[in-house]
Amino acid sequence: MSETPDQVREIIEAVNGLHVLATVNEEDSPRMRWMGALMEDPEQPWVFYLVCGKDASKMHEIAQNPNAQLLFSQMDPWKVASLSGVAEAVDSPELRQLLWDSIPAMHNYFSGVEDSGMGIIRFTSKCAEVQTGHGEPHCFDL
């Protein structure tokens, strides 16, 4: 078994989930932005939830093209982990409550679990890779 999945989890933990989300815009160009809140599905390994504004450009991009990546960068020692997969907008009262209870930073952006401006992205990982500055990264299928 490859060490890649364990290394990816170590990097995610080291950076407290801070990550870059890459999507594809309507001109088929990549679009990247820093994101903070991230939670792995407690029942589905390698499925993550991200929270943002319901009308954010990333939500429109995902609706048009679900291909996306998450990138996590650890500075010392330098390591980069990326997850490639598909993203989709999801919503349910149970998921809203779980995220609200699990991600305290949401309280800075939304008034509560029923805030109509809250958007939820489910990111399903297809492969993971780690770059440490030594050689080419290899994508490990998840």
- Which pLDDT tens digit goes with each residue over 44-58? 999 999 999 999 999
Dihedral class, residue 46 (left if φ above 0, else alpha if ψ from -120 to 50, else beta): left
**Beta-carbon contacts of residue 81 (< 8 Å; ≥ 6 apart):** 7, 8, 11, 12, 71, 72, 74, 128, 129, 130, 131
- Which pLDDT tens digit goes with each residue over 58-115? 999 999 999 999 999 999 888 999 999 999 999 999 999 999 999 999 999 999 999 9
Is the pLDDT at 138 greater than 90, yes or no?
no
Q: How far is CA 18 from the centre of its chain?
A: 9
Domains of the chain listed by start with CATH number: 4-141 (2.30.110.10)
- What is the pLDDT at residue 135? 65
Is the pLDDT at 140 greater than 90, yes or no?
no
Name the nearest CA neighbour of 117 among 127, 128, 108, 109. 109
| pLDDT interval class at 1 (50, 70, 90) | very low
